[in-house]
Chains A and B, each alone.
Chain A
Amino acid sequence: MPGFDDFDDRDWRETLAELRLMVAGAGFGDWDSQAAAALTDALEGRPDPRVQVLRYARSFASFLKVRSAWNLQRLRVDLGEILRDEDGRPVAGAVVVDAYGDRTEEILEERTSDALLNVVEAFADAVAGESGYFGEEDDER
């Protein structure tokens, strides 16, 4: 099975740098810069780049989880249980209005599947050595 065992420190540093660019390029620039600052805070002596990749990936998976299908459903239920509107009905959603005031988005609407979360978690598991596998297989006919 292909795994990460052959990676050396330079490979890990490159992987972290590429992963950071991917996350920032997807619109999560503030998350990335805060994560990088936290990794720097924790530096002591010579850092293990594999551990840094693992912490970054696990934390990003945790970040994505807040909008997983399961969690959005849980938020809907929790919100309705504690908050009522003026007619006494459970409140069923929440919106965000952008800084210009002309774009409104439903916070609890599912816009993506959990596929990205699953891939990031599989990546982190493999980096941790828990699954030993992250990659494709070729057909060999």
Chain B
Amino acid sequence: MSMSPKKRARKLTPRRALARLKGAFRSELGIGSKTADDLLAGAALYDKAYELSCLIETMRHLRSCVPSVAFQLIGGSKPKFRGKGGEIQRGVWPYIEMRATGGVLAEIWVDIECLALSASAQKKVPGNPPYGRAHELDVVVVAPNIAGRPAPTELLLGVEAKHRLFNKALLKELLGVRRETAYKAKEHGNPFAWWRSSRKLPAFPPSGIVLFCSDAGVSRYADPAKFWGLEMIYHPY
């Protein structure tokens, strides 16, 4: 007759706790069996899934500005995110049209490099790669039918998605993007600035910059963002 074994709990040490975690990492992510390239590609999917959720969230907010709006994907059956940002290339990458009764109000593109204000002011043409003359944004809302890297005057909204614990370095990055897309100015109208009841922004050109961040601590960094007219939204998982 078999007897059920008694369970004896072992003292937990850092080594045992970490061994259990390591086992889960190894078996679930395929560490040791997958190539390093596969591991990095798999890890990137978490950030892109968050970007996708922010794209959806952006469309929902835009609908609050124009309730009758419809979003239609053009040039493909699925949105295509890029591992490296680039230009608006119609016919190469799918994009989203924001349509209302009167026609196309705006276009939404993902992973787009926008021309920096400093490059634009110096009449510098960004090369390939553009280095500091253009900056990538995860999602952009732009005027219809533009091509290449949107100029500051063509950008309506830029969205950054940070599935990270927020920190000062990320704030600096965001403030840098704001400084390179608009001057601080008296309030100017932007019909898609859903977070402002006035639909006006303290920026010229009056583009909006929005951050979605999965860390509740992002609100601790809100003061400089508020000054520059940046919108920081806690978008958790």
Contacts and interface: CB of A to CB of B under 8 A. Distances in A.
Contact of A86 (B18, B24, B44, B73): B73
Given A59-B165, A96-B83, A135-B17, A82 B71 contact: yes
A115 B237 contact: no
Contact of A96 (B45, B63, B165, B236): B45
Q: Among B18, B28, B96, find the residue whose CB has the most chain A CB atoms closer than 10 A.
A: B28
B8 A137 contact: yes
A113 B28 contact: yes
A51 interface: no
B77 interface: yes
A123 B167 contact: no
Nearest to B165: A38
Given A75-B56, A94-B80, A140 B7 contact: yes
B7 A139 contact: yes
Contacts of A63: 46, 163-164, 214, 237
Given A67-B46, A91-B78, A34 B10 contact: no
Interface of A: 1-4, 6-7, 11, 14-15, 18-19, 22, 25-28, 31, 34-35, 37-42, 55, 59, 62-67, 71-72, 75, 78-79, 82-86, 91-100, 103-105, 107-108, 111-113, 115-116, 119-120, 123, 126, 134-141
Interface of B: 5-14, 16-18, 20-22, 24-25, 27-29, 31, 36, 39-46, 48-50, 52-53, 56, 59-60, 63, 70-74, 76-84, 96, 163-170, 214-215, 217, 236-237
